[in-house]
């Protein structure tokens, strides 16, 4: 992982001149913090099922939190690309992951938000592969996942 992505959150301050997209009274975090948020969300999506389950257990949440974390970070992607903090080539893959998670939510025929699905569902494997590909494009090795 790059030093910028690995920087401790405490060392990254908010810039007062940057405002949230929807609330003019809220400051947005530093660009490197926003990049780290996206990379961490992608790393979780890219992780093998046992690592994802360990994360879920550690945080006491369900499998849908993986997608929700990604969704929050995904909202930052376009701006991060504009700022040169992620490659523009990552955007199409990020959009596909977002669509995959949206389709998983819409599909009422399968329970894709279970621990079992993390291990068995081909859609989770697809999201994992896309996230690994994007991380590789950002210079983050699969061995770091």
Tens-digit pLDDT profile for residues 22-48: 444 445 678 899 999 999 999 999 999
- The model's pLDDT over 114-132, given as tens digits with 9 standing for 90+, comes to 999 999 999 999 999 999 9
Contact 76, 37 (CB under 8 A): yes
**How many Å is the Cα radius of gyration of the chain?**
16
Supply the DSSP symbol for 63: T
pLDDT at 11: 32
From CA 17, how far away is CA 141, in angstroms rounded?
A: 34
Pick the residue with more confidence: 64 or 5? 64
Helix (H) or strand (E) holding 127: helix 122-137
Q: Give the contacts of 98 (CB within 8 A, at least 6 positions apart).
A: 70, 71, 74
Q: What is the mean pLDDT of the chain?
A: 82
What's the mean pLDDT in 80-106? 95
pLDDT at 108: 83
From CA 8, how far away is CA 137, in angstroms rounded?
A: 23
pLDDT at 2: 38
pLDDT at 110: 76
pLDDT at 144: 54
What is the CB-side half-sphere exposure of residue 124 using CA atoms within 13 A? 23
Whole-structure pTM value: 0.78
Share of the chain above pLDDT 70, in %: 78
Please name which of 69, 15, 19 lies closest in space to residue 45, comparing C-alpha atoms.
69
What's the mean pLDDT in 94-102? 96
Distance of CA 47 to the CA centre of its chain: 11
- On the 0-12 / 13-18 / 19+ scale of CB atoms within 10 A, 38 is buried
pLDDT at 109: 77
């Amino acid at each position: 992982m790059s030093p910028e992505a690995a920087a401790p959150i405490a060392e990254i301050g908010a810039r007062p001149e940057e405002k949230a997209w929807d609330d003019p009274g809220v400051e947005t975090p530093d660009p490197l913090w926003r990049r780290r948020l996206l990379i961490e969300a992608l790393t979780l999506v890219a992780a093998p099922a046992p690592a994802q389950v360990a994360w879920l257990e550690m945080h006491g949440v369900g499998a849908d939190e993986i997608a929700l974390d990604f969704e929050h970070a995904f909202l930052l992607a376009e701006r991060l690309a504009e700022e040169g903090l992620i490659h523009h080539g990552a955007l199409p893959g990020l959009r596909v992951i977002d669509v995959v998670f949206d389709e998983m939510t819409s599909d009422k025929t399968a329970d894709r938000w279970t621990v079992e699905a993390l291990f068995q569902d081909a859609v989770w494997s697809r999201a994992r592969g896309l996230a690994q590909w994007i991380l590789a494009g950002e210079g983050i090795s699969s061995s770091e996942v």
